[in-house]
């Protein structure tokens, strides 16, 4: 049976399964593939659940398949790290030519992160592509771009990951950067023409509703400030517990204020930073999460890049009006990024609080985006480099924030994407020594953990030479897509 499953179609059973914790990982049930028609399963469940001797776990295992629920990479031989990664590319390759359970159909093979993740993830895939480039796996790079394009054309955007319960949100919009990387690799500028329509469609998704806004209001992913400027933010269309972290969300909701708690949680997931003190009003507890009140520096910089790319792809086709339109949009956004996100006192970039009309207090590594994309002045870049060296760089790499909250996107964890952003940002502005330090600190941490465990991890502890990393809603995962990609690219 190749039928698409939406969690809402088995909501009663799903709710009972997640609340009863018959599986250790809440993700397990979201990945289940029905063995019979959903109406048949629901009917049977209603009839049987009250009867004596009924066992919920047995019922679920009898009516659902759990295909490849966990990827565990076991090796008898301890290969050199580079060879290990080359083997991993094949082991992390999946196909989904037909919809199966909650898994969406995709036209091309793809690479999964690893561990408990067996679906295609959006922003992870860009950092995976960096390593594929080094490995000479150009076809897989093309596959990733083609899968993203397919999703944008058929869904309207690239979901957080390729499952039905992620159809309410995206992730940081990296498609235009993926395209740049593929053009750089293949020397084929025609790709900008080929994917022009896709770029435009993704842009429409991120700017939807902006014409309906009055000053000082927000809709979906756009906000209009009190001064009439348009900023973007992360957002999720739904305001209910995440299926993949159902019970956690129900429990976290207790003691939380406001009726948009779940949407704030989900919107933080669209940023990829789930979770961090960056989103919390008190910078400590998830109950104070207020993602919807924040316009973020990273998404606005990424959309500037998308506007620049659309101007370029328009110019290549002599679409003069469009070229002018997107060039104007990009120039205006550059001004806005500087006006709203640069903190002159702190000498770094920060997010902007839409309700308080001022920058947020959280110090975080997304401040790198204007340097990564070349939007910062020399003076701003120098100031950020000093903050980076002083507050974010540790012996195991760059941390994401200066706060230790127990959340996985906070100190002490070092994540692969930001090592690459840090390295490129410092290189862009001529801070070669700091760039090398970032590279060496993190790469040696990756090598140390690999030598001790034979695994590449999702994240690393930047402060401690003894442990791996922790925090978050699930144990540290091995595999691991973006770590493999960034490590190979930095070592090159």
Which of 123, 402, 435 is CA-nearest to residue 277?
402
Cis peptide before 478 (omega within 30 of 0): no
Which of 132, 149, 229 is CA-nearest to residue 184?
132
Please give the Cα distance from 490 to 275 (Å, whole number). Answer: 26
Catalytic residue set: 274, 458
Is the CB of residue 12 less than 8 Å from the CB of residue 59?
no
CA 127 to chain centre: 11
What are the angstrom distances between the C-alpha of 312 and each of 118, 205, 325, 395, 414?
35, 20, 11, 40, 34
Is the CB of residue 56 less than 8 Å from the CB of residue 17?
yes
Concatenate the DSSP letters of all residues of 393-438 into one string: EETTEE-SBS---S-TTSTTEEEHHHHHHHHHHHHHTT-HHHHHHH
Please give the Cα distance from 458 to 468 (Å, whole number). Answer: 10
128-132: Cβ within 8 A, 24+ apart? 128/481, 128/482, 128/484, 128/485, 129/178, 129/181, 129/182, 129/485, 130/181, 130/420, 130/485, 130/486, 130/488, 130/489, 131/85, 131/89, 131/484, 131/485, 131/486, 131/487, 131/488, 131/489, 132/89, 132/485
What are the angstrom distances between the C-alpha of 88 and each of 110, 162, 383?
13, 21, 39
């Amino acid at each position: 049976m190749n039928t698409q499953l939406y969690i809402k179609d088995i909501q009663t059973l799903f709710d009972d399964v997640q609340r009863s914790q018959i599986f250790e990982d809440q993700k397990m049930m979201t990945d289940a593939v029905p063995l019979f028609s959903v109406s048949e399963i629901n009917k049977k469940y209603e009839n049987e659940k009250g009867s004596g001797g009924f066992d919920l776990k047995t019922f679920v295992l009898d009516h659902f398949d759990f295909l490849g629920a966990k990827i565990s990479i076991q090796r008898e031989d301890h290969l050199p790290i580079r060879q290990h990664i080359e083997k991993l590319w094949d082991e992390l390759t999946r196909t989904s030519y037909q919809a199966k359970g909650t898994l969406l159909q995709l036209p091309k093979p793809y690479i999964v992160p690893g561990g408990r993740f067996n679906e295609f993830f959006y922003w992870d895939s860009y950092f995976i592509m960096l390593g594929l480039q080094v490995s000479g796996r150009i076809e897989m790079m093309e596959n990733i771009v083609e899968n993203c394009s397919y999703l944008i054309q058929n869904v309207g955007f690239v979901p957080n990951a390729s499952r039905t319960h992620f159809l309410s949100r995206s992730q940081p919009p990296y498609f235009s950067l993926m395209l740049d990387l593929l053009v750089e690799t293949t020397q084929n500028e025609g790709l900008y023409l080929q994917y022009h329509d896709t770029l435009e469609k993704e842009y429409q998704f991120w700017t939807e509703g902006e014409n309906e806004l009055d000053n000082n209001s927000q809709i979906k992913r756009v906000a209009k400030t009190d001064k009439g400027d348009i900023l973007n933010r992360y957002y999720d269309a739904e305001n209910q517990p995440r299926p993949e972290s159902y019970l956690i969300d129900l429990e976290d909701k207790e003691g939380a204020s406001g009726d948009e708690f779940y949407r704030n949680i989900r919107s933080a997931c669209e940023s990829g930073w789930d979770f961090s003190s960056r989103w919390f009003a008190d910078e400590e507890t998830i109950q104070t999460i207020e993602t919807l009140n924040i316009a973020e520096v990273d998404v606005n910089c990424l959309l500037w890049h998308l506007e620049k790319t659309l101007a370029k792809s328009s110019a290549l086709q002599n679409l003069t009006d469009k070229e002018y339109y997107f060039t104007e949009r990009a120039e205006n956004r550059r001004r806005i990024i500087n006006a709203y996100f640069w903190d002159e006192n702190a000498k770094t970039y920060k997010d902007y609080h839409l309700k308080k009309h001022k920058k947020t207090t959280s110090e975080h590594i997304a401040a790198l985006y204007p340097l990564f994309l070349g939007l910062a002045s020399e003076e701003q870049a120098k100031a950020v480099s000093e903050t980076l060296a002083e507050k974010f760089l540790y012996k195991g790499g760059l941390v994401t924030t200066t706060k230790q909250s127990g959340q996985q996107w906070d100190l002490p964890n070092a994540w692969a994407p930001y090592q690459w952003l840090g390295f490129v940002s410092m290189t862009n502005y001529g801070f070669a020594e700091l760039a090398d330090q970032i590279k060496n600190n993190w790469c040696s941490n990756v090598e140390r953990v690999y030598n001790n465990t034979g695994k590449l991890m999702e994240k690393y502890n930047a402060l401690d030479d003894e442990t791996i990393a922790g925090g978050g809603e699930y144990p540290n995962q091995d595999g691991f897509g973006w770590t493999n990609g960034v490590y190979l690219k930095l070592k090159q």
